[in-house]
Amino acid sequence: MQSTMMSSPLLLTGMLEHAAKLYADVEVVSVRCDGSRHRCTYRDVHRRARQLSAALQGAGIANGDRVATLMWNEHEHLESYFGVPATGAVVHTLNLRLHPEELAYIVNHAQDRFLIVDEVLLEIFEQIRPHVRFERVFVVDHGGRKIPEGCESYEAFLTQTSVPPNYHYPDLSEEDAAAMCYTSGTTGKPKGVLYSHRAIALHSLSMALPDHLHFSRCDTVLPAMSMFHANAWGFPYAATMMGSKLVFPGRNLQPEALLDLMAIEQVTLTGAVPTVWLAVLNAMDCHPGRWKLAPGLRIVVAGSAAPESMFRRFDQLGVRVIQPWGMTETTPLATVCTLKPHMENQTEDERYAIRAKQGLASPFIEIRSVDESGETPWDGVTTGELHVRGPWVTNSYFRLERDDRWTPDGWFRTGDVVTIDPEGYVKLTDRVKDLIKSGGEWISSVDLENALVAHASIKEAAVIAVPHSKWQERPLAVIVLKDGCKVCDSDLRDFLSQRFARWQLPDAFVFVDKLPHTSTGKLLKSKLRQQFNRWEWDPKTHATPVRTE
């Protein structure tokens, strides 16, 4: 028997119209490259997104066409988030930190027709221009630069098309693609992921749940993650859906500038990768009491596992840290870590141990852990690769017919090694490719890294596997110290031995000025493994490295 409920598609246009009708006067703030702040409202975003939609239709953009963006976090980018999909086209956010050759590959693979580019990023565009074929290029100009030959003004493009009051969006299906991102490409060529209107809508609803990130009309939201990376984790969509005030930081994510902005705008919810928040913590340590942050501020930390020490340090400052987990392929958030009610009765250390996990699966997201023998038990001890499936998990890559990342029964193989405890909490122990196998036993590089950054002298740490003649592999720790700090190997071994068995400890510690990161802020361990692939272990001690370069 069929239900009698109305069939209403889940569309981004519905989000946009909802915000314009109910939250028209709520502010959207953008920081310009000169440090000035541009202020508008959801009424303005709605009007300009509709103008963009109508202008793109008039320019011949059709359902399924890709419109690329090369932009920082700013209100014009938000307009494209909604205005491009409103035509039935796909907004394709380009990672401006990629090498030009890789960026050109992505543009050509995606077959992008149009480009919207920030004037301050024209240099990047000019580097890829000879290698790509955009039909039209629109420059978001703030009056500071001359628009290059062959390009057009974004503002002029918007205003040349009048939008009648009875303007209707084209007929869309909730299964139509609305947005597109490419994976980071750390293992092979980047792969494109298409997000449907339905996937984004459901993902946004999950982010608003009280036991998840709890987006609210009472919030002021600052997406400090990049809008070109996995749709800024869905923050702009969820904020618009709920009517939250939005604050876009532009290009400047230096800790002092970020803290100034958070204090001035009284931000209540923000998010970024761990490296951003570690720098913020260090700034707050250096300037105690300088910033009056909003009471109850929530910081979302994702991209790589956050150390337990980060939770403790922010708690001392009255700031709550929430850790989710996700990937480009999962729209991106699939789990969020918040405590169950009975856990409030546990000890402080027990609660911190749980909060540092990646959390519980979102509603409608299924998870399992699988090893070579099959599905592993939820005992919090047995490790396996995390598999996920659900309504906002992609089932294929764009223009790639076959890929072994999906099982025959439809589960996505994430490549993350995890444990799942009896309560259902996922704990990331490593990436499959980053696990260290020593003498037949596995060592988690993530656990060692998180322990190391809790040391008072350490700013950042990475642990990698180095080949070993006797033990197959042994862990090598690569460390960045805080300014003015010194520490010796024996002190670090003593520090780690409180939590790890002796055989799990790194055999050597290398001190460097900085660690390599991906364009989205993750540790680039593949580069470290390449950098240290010519180290050999002293056969007498099996501990002291001998550099053979």
Low-confidence winner among 16-25, 316-325, 480-489, 538-547 (lowest mean pLDDT)? 538-547
Residues 157 and 181 in one domain: yes
Query: Could you tell me if 450 and 491 lie in one domain?
Result: yes
Structural domain contains residue 489: yes
pLDDT (tens digit per residue) in 324-382 = 999 999 999 999 999 999 999 999 999 999 999 999 999 999 999 999 999 999 999 99
Mean pLDDT of the chain: 92
Which of 219, 226, 222 lies closest to 182, judged by CA? 226
Residue 279 sits at the vertex; the CA angle it makes with 278 and 284, to the nearest 5 degrees, is 95
pLDDT at residue 537, rounded to an integer: 64
Is 93 among the domain residues? Answer: yes
Q: pLDDT at residue 547 above 60? A: no
Active-site annotation holder among 442, 473, 520, 522: 442
Look at residue 530 in the predicted model and tell me its pLDDT. 85
Q: Catalytic site residue 329?
A: yes
The pLDDT score that the predictor gives to residue 186 is 52
232 is a domain residue: no
Q: Same domain for 466 and 424? A: no
Specify burial of residue 109 (Cβ count, 10 A radius: 0-12, 13-18, 19+). Answer: middle
Domain holding 453, by residue range, is 435-547
Whether residue 312 is found in the same domain as residue 364: yes
With cut-offs at 50, 70 and 90, classify the pLDDT of residue 544: very low
For residues 47-56, give the mean pLDDT.
96
Beta bridge partners of 182: 192
**Whole-number pLDDT of residue 305:** 84
Domain count for the chain: 3
Which residue among 329, 385, 449, 460 is the active-site one? 329
**pTM of the complete model:** 0.85
Task: Answer yes or no: do 471 and 384 share one domain.
Answer: no
Annotated catalytic residue within 41, 87, 183, 335:
183
Which residue, of 399, 432, 465, is where some domain finishes?
A: 432
Please tell me whether residues 17 and 143 are part of one structural domain: yes
Q: Is 183 a catalytic residue?
A: yes
For the segment 191-213, what is each residue's pLDDT rounded down to a tens digit? 999 999 999 999 999 999 999 99
pLDDT in tens, 476-524: 999 999 999 999 999 999 999 988 888 889 988 999 999 998 777 778 8
Number of residues assigned to the chain: 549
**Which residue bears the tokens 């958030």?**
333
Q: Which of 328, 431, 333 is nearest to 385 (CA)?
A: 431
Tell me, yes or no, whether 441 and 388 share the same domain.
no
Q: Reply yes or no on whether the pLDDT at 470 is more than 60.
A: yes
Torsion angles phi and psi, residue 258, rounded to 5: -65, -45
What percent of the chain has pLDDT above 90? 77
Amino acid found at 173: S
Among candidate residues 189, 292, 437, 470, the one labeled active-site is 437
Tokens of 342: 């009975």
Same domain, 361 and 390: yes
Count of beta carbons in the 10 Å neighbourhood of residue 43: 16
pLDDT at 38 over 60: yes
Q: What is the pLDDT of residue 546?
A: 41
Whether 55 and 193 map to the same domain: the answer is yes
Residue 139: the pLDDT is 98
Q: Is the pLDDT of residue 443 over 90?
A: no
Does one domain contain both 265 and 410? Answer: yes
The pLDDT of residue 249 is: 97
- CATH number for 509: 3.30.300.30
C-alpha count within 13 angstroms, C-beta hemisphere, residue 452: 29
The yes-or-no answer on residue 79 being catalytic is no
Query: 443 and 427 in one domain?
Result: no
Q: What is the mean pLDDT of residues 405-429?
A: 95
Residues 261 and 300 occupy one common structural domain: yes
Q: Pick the more confident residue, 345 or 468.
A: 345
Digit-coded pLDDT (tens) for 231-270: 999 999 999 999 999 999 999 999 999 999 999 999 999 9
Look at residue 408 and tell me whether its pLDDT is greater than 70.
yes
Q: Which residue has the higher pLDDT, 184 or 36?
A: 36
Which of 396, 417, 432 is where one domain is finished?
Answer: 432
Which of 25-34, 142-151, 531-540 is predicted most confidently? 25-34
CATH code of the domain containing 163: 3.40.50.12780
Give the integer Cα–Cα distance in Å for 321 and 305.
12
41 is an active site residue? no
Tell whether 238 is covered by a domain.
Answer: no
Q: pLDDT tens across 78-111, in order?
A: 999 999 999 999 999 999 988 898 899 999 999 9
Supply the pLDDT for residue 467: 83
Among 158, 174, 198, the domain-final residue is: 198
Provide the pLDDT for residue 440. 64
pLDDT over 70 percentage in the chain: 96
Indicate whether 227 belongs to any domain: no
